[in-house]
Amino acid sequence: MNMVMSGFMVIPAVDIRGGKCVRLVRGDFNLQTIYDEDPVRAALHWASLGAKWLHIVDLDGALEGKPKNLHTLSRIRQAVECKLQFGGGVRELSDIEAVLSLGVERVILGTTAVENKALLAEAVGKYGSRIAVAVDVRDGKIVVRGWKRETQLTPVEMVRQLEEIGVETVIYTDVKRDGTMLGPNIEGIAEVVSLSSSLKVIASGGITTSQHIRELARLYPRVIGCIVGKALYEGKLCYTEAVTTAMMATGGEKDGK
């Protein structure tokens, strides 16, 4: 499957924990806010506003090392027509196959991409652009296992490894900004962009205002989109306005399809 994308994408996040749609602060499971008792309802809301992609995260899976909310993912897939990318606890080839079999367009690997390069290479070889990698950064180091474990790997080192393997898309998250609404790490994102001429980047973490969208969209087409969570759920950012801002910043191209 070749997922051609046009325009800078604004992608709503639907994070699932205990069967509910939630948001955390900096990945801290003790700092959780429930925004909807039913993640399917949340997904339908964003789809009704015209979202072309949704970013689905299985927080239980990220903690336990195995997807735990595939039933909810299946319900979301049946309810919406927009494209889905899914991550959280996907650490075996069988997990990837299970997720893709539900009709999900893209699977995100995080821990596996760091700890099992052979599996990552096999997955990329088999599924190509349907595999993306999470580049989760805290204080200049890559973090894994639900952001609980810090590695000695830097974003620079990781991006070079991913490029060699043939990964096409990475999702860059500054963990310290995630769920804070303090703004994205433009410097960190720009560094990743500067390292590779082939990788496409989706930015995440702290994105809250139209100005944040504008700053990121100016990096298009190397940065192809951004993931927004808490700012949308808190009403700090209007989804349709964010899409319009992105469209204007990229010279009028519509949200990615």
Return the structure tokens found at 134: 């999470």
Residues 6+ apart with CB under 8 A from 207: 183, 184, 213, 216, 226, 227, 228, 231, 237
- Residue 23 parent element (H or E): strand 20-25
Residues 6+ apart with CB under 8 A from 141: 150, 151, 152, 153, 154
Q: Judge whether 174 counts as a catalytic residue.
A: no
CB-count exposure of residue 32 (10 Å: 0-12, 13-18, 19+): middle
Q: Which is the catalytic residue, given 15, 58, 95, 174?
A: 15
DSSP 8-state code for residue 229 = -
Q: Which is the catalytic residue, given 58, 60, 136, 255?
A: 136
Distance in angstroms (rounded) separating the CA atoms of residues 149 and 252: 41
Is 42 within 8 Å of 21 (Cβ atoms)? yes
Backbone angles phi, psi at 18, to 5 degrees: 60, 30
Q: Judge whether 139 counts as a catalytic residue.
A: no
Q: How far is CA 211 from CA 38, 187, 207, in A?
A: 31, 15, 9
At residue 131, what is the residue type? Answer: I
DSSP 8-state code for residue 55 = E
User: Which residues are marked as active site?
Assistant: 15, 136
